[in-house]
Amino acid sequence: MTENKKKVAAYWASSCGGCDVALLGLHEKIVDLLENAEIVFWPAATDFKYDDLKGYPDDEIDITFFNGGIRTDENEEIANLLRKKSKTLVAYGSCAAQGGIPGLANMSSREELLETVYTKTPTTHNPEGLIPSEVSTRDGVELRLPGLQERVRSLEQAVDVDFFIPGCPPPPNLTQKFLGALLEGELPEKGSVFAGERTVCDECDREWKGKSISEVRRPHEVEIDPDVCLLDQGIICMGPATRSGCGAGCPEVNVPCKGCFGPPAKVDDQGTEMLNSLASILQVGEEGKGLEEERNILSGLRDPIGSFYTYSLPSSIFGGRVDDGGKDE
């Protein structure tokens, strides 16, 4: 029967590992899966070596769930290898699909990151200020670490991707649905995002009642009305600029959407789109009368990149911080 089983692989690149756990979140369904599928590579769960993978013929693996973005040379090397060995490569989870939270590191240069992590954090004891280097020699033995790349990229920015399953992590029902489609041979068109076609608002029962908002507030500053749209209450909720498919679980429990499902179909830069929409609906007093105050609110927003590009910075228009010499004034 082994021959008829689908060969499945999973890999964890630059991410927290939650997506691997999410695969296990299929619970007993994973037993059903294993009746029809065979795991051929999954470093987090089973003992495979890269050499095993290298030994497979091309296209040997039916499907690979790749989670995490591309941060190191190792991530990139394995992404390329898995691409070669897999018939179908799935960017699994927000990090692989859009770059994810690790992608926010793109607001700092590689050097800044290393310096911060190895010399500046309060818990670091590194009096000599040593920074790891790619190649080092100890007792005559050359040691190599995978190189840290300048920027985090989404999987698609490194290799060709067949499907995207977004989410931080992807909800089990979505994974299950995808596996069902895979086993039935009913996968959608290449390049599809396996989630909803609209935005989180479509699945959210809250209602936008106003015409505009007059302030931006943080969730703890508001006694949240459970029926009214969070944005309408001045709370930044990424729902309107985030693809549906999650079931709107976060807003349902008074937690604003952070955008983990990435942009909806027609949007290519989720953060910019939401910044733009927020600016559009913010209005202090009569339209046109509160311009200065509106500008102050918008330009005083705390951490706009962290808030609006939480999961999508690497796949945004700018991709991260850019170098432009001078500053204003």
**Contact stretch for other proteins (CB under 8 A) within 81-89, 118-126, 179-187, 276-284:** 276-284
Residue 189 is a binding residue for other proteins (CB under 8 A): no
Residue 298 is a binding residue for other proteins (CB under 8 A): yes
Nearest Cα to Cα of residue 26 among 176, 251, 145, 233: 176
262-267, Cβ contacts within 8 angstroms, sequence gap of 24 or more: 262/94, 262/97, 262/98, 262/164, 262/166, 262/193, 262/311, 262/312, 262/315, 263/98, 263/312, 264/197, 264/198, 264/199, 265/193, 265/197, 267/241
Query: Per DSSP, what are the bridge partners of residue 199?
Result: 243
Sheet holding 163-165, edge to edge: 37-41, 6-12, 61-67, 86-92, 163-165
Residue 259 is a binding residue for other proteins (CB under 8 A): no
- Which of positions 88-147 make contact with other proteins (CB under 8 A)? 107
Q: Cβ of residue 304: shortest distance to other proteins, in angstroms?
A: 6
- Using a 10 angstrom Cβ sphere, with 0-12 exposed, 13-18 middle and 19 or more buried, the burial of residue 73 is middle
Q: Cβ of residue 136: shortest distance to other proteins, in angstroms?
A: 32
- Using a 10 angstrom Cβ sphere, with 0-12 exposed, 13-18 middle and 19 or more buried, the burial of residue 170 is buried
Query: Per DSSP, what are the bridge partners of residue 228?
Result: 207
**Contact stretch for other proteins (CB under 8 A) within 28-36, 63-71, 75-83, 279-287:** 279-287
Residue 169: what residue type? P
Residues binding other proteins: number (CB under 8 A):
58
Q: Cβ of residue 109: shortest distance to other proteins, in angstroms?
A: 10
Comparison of 7 and 243: residue with beta carbon closer to other proteins = 243
Residues near 123 by Cβ (< 8 Å), separated by ≥ 6? Answer: none
Comparison of 13 and 201: residue with beta carbon closer to other proteins = 201
Residue 276 is a binding residue for other proteins (CB under 8 A): yes
- Which of positions 229-248 make contact with other proteins (CB under 8 A)? 229, 231, 239-241, 244
Nearest Cα to Cα of residue 96 among 315, 302, 288: 315
Q: Cβ of residue 201: shortest distance to other proteins, in angstroms?
A: 4
Identified binder of other proteins from the candidate list 51, 257, 280, 314, rule CB under 8 A: 280
Helix (H) or strand (E) holding 78: helix 73-85
Residue 288 is a binding residue for other proteins (CB under 8 A): yes
Provide the token pair at 314: 């690497």
Q: Cβ of residue 303: shortest distance to other proteins, in angstroms?
A: 8
- Which of positions 41-60 make contact with other proteins (CB under 8 A)? none
Identified binder of other proteins from the candidate list 60, 73, 202, 225, rule CB under 8 A: 202
- Asked whether the beta carbons of 7 and 62 are under 8 A apart, the reply is yes
Comparison of 1 and 322: residue with beta carbon closer to other proteins = 322
Residue 157 is a binding residue for other proteins (CB under 8 A): no
| Binding positions for other proteins, rule: CB under 8 A | 107, 197-202, 207-212, 229, 231, 239-241, 244, 264-269, 272-283, 287-288, 291, 294-295, 298-299, 301, 304-305, 317-318, 320-328
